[in-house]
């Protein structure tokens, strides 16, 4: 792994951890799951591609996956 990639991963992780610890108290379950998916997707996208475009794609896919997971969880509760 290159130094630039490690810096990006560290920055992405720090951003996700900070936002997650500050704002989750007043979020709905859907918002929490979408945000968590986006954070995981961003870190994964950065790790896999090492580019800003890969990070953005990972973020979008992760947010979508978080939304679908939330929808499935709510459907199973009924």
pLDDT of amino acid 71: 96
Q: Is 74 helix (H, G, I), strand (E, B) or coil?
A: helix
> CA 43, CA 61: separation in Å to the nearest integer?
12
pLDDT of amino acid 11: 74
pLDDT digits (tens, 9 = 90+) for 41-71: 988 888 888 788 888 899 999 999 999 999 9
Asked if residues 55 and 42 have their Cβ atoms less than 8 Å apart, the reply is yes
Mean pLDDT of all residues belonging to the chain: 83
- With a CB cutoff of 8 Å and minimum separation 6, the contacts of 46 are 5, 8, 9, 12, 54, 55, 58
pLDDT of amino acid 12: 73
pLDDT of amino acid 68: 97
Q: Which residue has the higher pLDDT, 27 or 57?
A: 57
pLDDT digits (tens, 9 = 90+) for 34-49: 988 988 898 888 888 8
């Amino acid at each position: 792994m290159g130094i630039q990639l490690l810096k990006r991963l560290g920055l992405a992780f720090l951003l996700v951890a900070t936002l997650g610890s500050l704002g989750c108290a007043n979020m709905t379950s859907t918002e929490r799951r979408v945000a968590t998916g986006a954070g995981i997707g961003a870190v994964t996208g950065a790790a896999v591609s090492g580019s800003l475009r890969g990070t953005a794609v990972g973020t979008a896919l992760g947010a979508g996956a978080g939304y679908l997971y939330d929808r499935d969880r709510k459907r199973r509760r009924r």
